[in-house]
Amino acid sequence: MDKNQYSSVLSRSRAVIVVFMILVFGWLTTSNLKAQVYSGQSNTLDVQILNEQVTNKTAKPVVRWIYPAENVESVNRSEVNLKLGIASKTAVVKVTLMVNNEVVEIFENFSQADSGYLFDAWLEKQVQLQTGSNDIMLIVQNEQGALKHQRKIEVASSPGLSRDHALIFAIDEYDTWEDLNGPVRDAENIARVLEEKGVSIEIVRNFTTFDLLAKLEEYVVKEFEPHDQLFIYFAGHGSVDEATGEGYFVCKNSVNLANANSTYIAYSVIKSIINNIPAQHIFLLMDAVRGEGDLLTSVFESIEQEQSDSSSTALPEGKTRIGICSGTDKYRQGPAYSAGSYLSKAFITYLRKSEQSEHPTWGDLLQEFKDIDPTPVYTEFGDHNPGNGFIFNRAAAEN
């Protein structure tokens, strides 16, 4: 082969190689585009979204609102405890919550224990909304990509008005005491009904003595508006010192031994701390064991008389510090698993009835507890102003 022939063959070979490389590069580019992941940033937030042409719709996460419910467009409180569950075919990696274009919190490291059996991820966050319209956005990212979920919530009330709050403690799981299967369920049932009334809710589950004291101290420094009401509920094991009559609440880490009162939290200590919480009106419901105080039946008539002597629709003056304890020596629930404890059932019954009442009173609430057998214990503590009551449906009472 002469030099000219060799050059001609070499040129043709190079051309073939170039064409082949172009075809291979084109095939690779097309293949990559089908699975390409696009990244973007919003408010310093890294969001990954799959190419919409290849995203499997069944793999997209599904957001289910618990509170506010999906059909709710407005609430009457600016402080709202958002709750939602997420169902996802693949693991949820990250969820970002944004309110009015600001990142509130980024949730990661979801576990099945925290999510419950209904959802693959569970979110709960107390947020402060502005009066008027609020834009809430969730960016839910799983292993397949991300879903953007948006909704609007209107706050109908003006800031500075009296508000209702609930701080709920419940324990099912103990280190050395026998586990229970009702307190957390009771707590969540109460919370669900209160949230329907616009009450701001916080639930603390399966806590230690240190957790309990720390949470109460948080509320001691929490800011409340004038005439704010705070409902506090405890459900779980309890113990009574027969010599002194002092009741104790048993926490997850409390020791199940005789003379182990030092590992419990005395009712007197709990009430002393609660008295220092700056909410004007506080109602304490101890669904554990009896404590010091008078049987509700023995004081019911005098309480009713005090209520009738004052206007049932007027906000009470001074502070309210009222407590009701179970009349039993242990946490007690109904015969059926779903029945709930006697105290929680009575309380929910009142809440439902107050929705239909034009002028609900404190006496109406006590009536539900009065008929429980054995009779609960009634107590007034701290800086309580005699004659004050506690009304959950104040919107109806004030009309």
Model pLDDT, residue 380: 93
Model pLDDT, residue 323: 94
Q: How far apart are CA 75 and CA 71, in angstroms?
A: 11
Give me the CATH topology for the region 164-397.
Rossmann fold (3.40.50)
Determine the CATH number of domain 40-155: 2.60.40.10
Model pLDDT, residue 240: 92
* CATH 3.40.50.1460 domain locations along the chain: 164-397
Model pLDDT, residue 336: 60
Chain centroid, CA 20 distance in Å: 62
Q: How far apart are CA 49 and CA 129, in angstroms?
A: 28
- pLDDT digit string (tens) for the chain, length 399 residues: 554 554 554 455 555 554 455 444 444 433 333 322 222 333 333 333 444 443 455 567 888 887 787 878 887 777 788 888 888 888 888 999 999 999 999 988 776 544 444 677 888 888 988 888 999 999 998 888 888 889 999 887 554 456 789 999 999 999 999 999 899 999 999 999 998 888 889 999 999 999 999 999 999 999 888 788 999 999 999 999 988 889 999 999 999 987 778 899 999 999 999 999 999 999 999 999 998 888 998 887 777 666 555 544 455 678 999 999 999 888 887 666 566 799 999 999 999 888 777 667 788 888 899 889 889 999 999 999 988 888 876 554 444
* CATH 2.60.40.10 domain locations along the chain: 40-155
* Residue 309, CA distances (Å) to 98, 302, 348, 354, 360 in order: 49, 11, 27, 21, 15
Strands (E), 129-236: 132-142, 145-155, 164-170, 200-205, 229-235
